[in-house]
Amino acid sequence: SSWLSVSPETGNLTSSAETITASVNRTSLSPGDYFSSISISSNGGNKTIIVYMNVPEGPAPTLSLSASVLDFGTSETQLSFSITNTGDTVLNWSVEANQSWIGLWPNNGSTNSETDVINVTVSRSGLDFGSLSGKIFISSDGGNDSIDVTLDVPFEDDFTTLDGWTNDGWQISNSPNCADPPCALSYTGISVAAQTISRSVSVQDGQTLSFWVYQYSPSGHVELFFSDVSVWSKNTYGSELVEVPIGGS
């Protein structure tokens, strides 16, 4: 029969066994029952295997997804999407991601009329701060599709080192006199030009920048800028914990 094939078609063996794979192709066949046979000829005898196949009525399996984008934002670690079959025959599917920080479970299955839920997790551990994107690819015998995955990694730094900062006169110190080393120390007289220390970072609305400021002289002035806009300043003597919200108001 033209809808039936076997592989391999020839071979030889002594006391071992060999597996023959039979495959059917239902394409363009009308619904109904089909029968055929596989004939095995050998110098050790001949055998025949009867083959039965059914072509079901109704639409073939068709893949349908509940989402086209999964956005994890700055804090979500688990979201999900569902796979449904809008056809009448069993849909076999599998999923895979193109980024190692995307986890999928389960990663394969089959569905007739039920809905299969795929749990998607992301891990921000070890990722650089900023916006990242990836894709989930869904393959099935009822079509293929993909889902875009996006997430933001918030800027986080415990400032255990200030070596990456640009400065024009500040001194970086690990002195035990610091409340929480390392410290950035600036000594500026009235007649000396302002000294700056800066670092470029990507931040998200809703984050809070926290730092300690100790001002030795009441005549001094400390000012914090975001994108060249002053968001905080201090003129008074003493130490102070500063918490500056980013974004919003």
Reply yes or no on whether the pLDDT at 174 is more than 90.
Answer: no
CB count within 10 Å of CB 159 equals: 15
Summarize pLDDT for 2-57 with one digit per residue, the tens: 999 999 999 988 878 889 999 998 877 888 899 999 999 999 999 999 999 998 77
How far is 221 from 232, CA to CA, in rounded Å? 11
How far is 133 from 73, CA to CA, in rounded Å? 11
Which amino acid is present at 156? E
Higher pLDDT, 23 or 186: 23
Give the model's pLDDT for residue 119.
98
Handedness of CA 232, 236, 237, 239 (dihedral sign): negative
Reply yes or no on whether the pLDDT at 178 is more than 80.
Answer: no
Mean pLDDT of the chain: 86
Summarize pLDDT for 118-148 with one digit per residue, the tens: 999 999 988 887 789 999 999 998 899 999 9
- What confidence tier does 249 reach under pLDDT thresholds 50, 70, 90? very low
pTM beyond cutoff 0.85: no
Give the model's pLDDT for residue 82.
97
Higher pLDDT, 157 or 76: 76
| Alpha-carbon distance values, 135 to 52, 102, 105, 127 (Å) | 40, 9, 15, 17
